[in-house]
Amino acid sequence: MILTLDLGTTRTKAVLWDGGRMVASGDATVATVHPGPGRAEQDPHEWWASVVEACATLRAGAGHAYGAVEAVGFAAARQTFVPVTADGTPLGPAIAWSDRRGDHAGAGAGSVASKVAWLRAHEPERMSAARWIVAPRDLVAWRLTGVAATDVTLASAAGLRASPRLDQGEGLDDSLLPPVLASDAVMGAVATSELGLRLGTPVVIGAGDRQCEVLATGASPTTPMVSWGTTANVSIPLDVLPDPLPDGLLATRGARGGWLLEGGLSAAGALVAWVAGLTGASVAECMAQAALSPPGARGVIALPWLGGARAPWWRPDAGAGFLGLGPAHGAGDLTRAAVEAVAADIARCLEAGGTAPVALMLAGGAADPTWVDILTGVVGVPGVRRRCADSASVGAALLVTDIDLGDINPVVDEVVPTLAGYYRSWRRVSDAAAGAALAVPPAPAFTVSG
């Protein structure tokens, strides 16, 4: 039996695996608060509390099987962090990846390095008291094992360790990172009874959520991984990075060596949730209505940059918007336009990476037919779905065990694009709208006082 803990931005998920079979799961929400313009923070104490809650739910569903856990592994949200003392005490609230302190135009916008530089300038007492900065996974694993560590994927995503594209000489200081381990390393053993696990159970440190999803989908240079969640992401695994790096994409370490070329968008599910909040419908209702809106959303074109434009644009000053609205449009049209705009940015990221994919390996969001139909139509290639929608949890399990991918997460179907012809023409309109919106020169760097 293997227990995986996936610490995401909005929820923590615990999954119990018996070989290639998911036995039971449990989850808990994690709140992000916005105490001021451009700020996004979390309570770091809530990370452990969410793990306790998720494991309690899992234990209730799994029964005696939970007591047979032989190893624990992690998948981890990246670029959310909190400064801590040498004994792991958090120094104030955690800064979420979506926080805009330290933003500037360019592919390093919003990196951990830029936020650390902001903290040093504006909250020097907080940083002077810090021994390390740690991600949610790092702090939870520390409490579970008593060992302070991070892994190579989170270290590379942080930008504190000099790496391609993020080495901008701003805030680079890897002495702020706890010891950096390989993603499949046993970091320690369970040293607390709070989760109901046997003391001494081995704990594998695991990897970033995107790296885990790449493992879980079997992505390759010609079949990159696309994920839909709070945001959306495209990841292209490579053994060797191109030189020079493509504009608009970041490079991070893979969980089993090599690299990922990544295009991370600012909002996907969060954009739909925002539309739901505006219209009074639920997210599920919005997506159901979007399926009834025709391709092109009856003339509505969206700019999906809620919280600034990330890959491939890197314009933190850009904002979301809708063009072509009329009194007859409703929540379904707004939602479909939003999803189409996210798919267009995914396509632009693939184009920036210089790849001509033969298919897309679908991670988060693979079960939503509206998203998959729009994505495959806009990119113009099939989408491959595997059995388990929780790709990050699958990847965490694969880092713990040597089970074959085909056993734990076999391919179940391939979605052939049916709207590619329409979306080829639609892209010209979408590209023109995006280009016009971004033609205005970047605003001065976003700052937050206080």
Structural domains counted in the chain:
2
Same domain, 288 and 415: yes
Q: What is the pLDDT of residues 79-111, one digit of tens each?
A: 899 999 999 999 999 999 888 887 654 545 567
Residue 59 inside a domain? The answer is yes
Residue 214 sits in the same domain as residue 189: no
Residue 161, pLDDT score: 53
Q: Tell which of 205, 226, 259 closes a domain.
A: 205
Pair (275, 159) in one structural domain = no
Q: Do the domain assignments include residue 447?
A: no
Note whether 189 and 214 are same-domain residues.
no
Strands (DSSP E) along 92-148, which ranges? Answer: 94-95, 132-134
Residue-wise over 33-67: b if at least 16 C-beta within 10 A, else e?
eeeeebbbbbebebbbebbbbbbebbbeebeeebe
Count, residues in the chain: 450
- Same domain, yes or no, for 77 and 189? yes
Say what the pLDDT of residue 110 is: 62
> Is residue 41 included in any domain, yes or no?
yes
**Tens digit of each residue's pLDDT (9 = 90 or more) over 27-49:** 999 999 999 888 999 999 999 99
Inside any domain, residue 112:
yes
Same domain, 146 and 213: no
pLDDT the model gives residue 364: 81
Asked if residue 116 and residue 218 are part of one domain, the reply reads no
Select from 205, 233, 250 the last residue of a domain: 205
Q: Indicate if 251 and 383 belong to the same structural domain.
A: yes
Task: Establish if 449 belongs to a structural domain.
Answer: no
Per-residue pLDDT of the chain (450 residues; tens, 9 = 90+): 999 999 998 899 999 999 889 999 999 999 999 998 889 999 999 999 999 999 999 999 998 899 999 999 999 999 899 999 999 999 999 999 888 887 654 545 567 888 898 999 999 999 999 999 999 999 999 999 999 999 999 998 876 654 444 433 344 467 889 999 999 999 999 999 999 999 999 999 999 999 999 999 999 999 999 999 888 999 999 999 888 888 889 889 999 999 999 999 989 999 999 999 999 999 999 999 999 999 999 999 999 999 889 999 988 889 999 999 999 999 999 999 999 999 999 999 999 998 889 999 999 888 899 999 999 999 999 999 999 988 999 999 999 998 999 999 999 999 999 999 999 999 999 999 999 999 877 655 544 444
Tokens 């139509």 — which residue? 377
Q: 192 and 130 in one domain?
A: yes
Based on the number of CB atoms within 10 Å of its own CB, is 110 exposed (0-12), middle (13-18) or buried (19 or more)?
buried
Q: What is the dihedral of CA 343, 345, 350, 353, to 10 degrees?
A: -170
Select from 172, 205, 238 the last residue of a domain: 205
Domain that includes residue 283, residue range: 209-442
Q: Do 153 and 272 belong together in one domain?
A: no
Tokens representing residue 222 in the block: 């010609």
Quick check: is 448 in a domain?
A: no
pTM value? 0.89
Considering the domain architecture, whether residues 216 and 153 belong to the same structural domain is answered as no
Inside any domain, residue 24: yes
What's 94's DSSP letter?
E
- Distance between CA 426 and CA 431 in Å, rounded? 9
Per the structure block, which two tokens stand in for 95?
A: 């800064």
Separation of alpha carbons 429 and 337, rounded Å: 12
Q: What is the CATH number of the domain that holds 226?
A: 3.30.420.40
pLDDT for res 169? 37
CA-to-CA separations, 28 to 54, 208, 216, 312, 337, in angstroms, rounded: 5, 19, 22, 32, 30
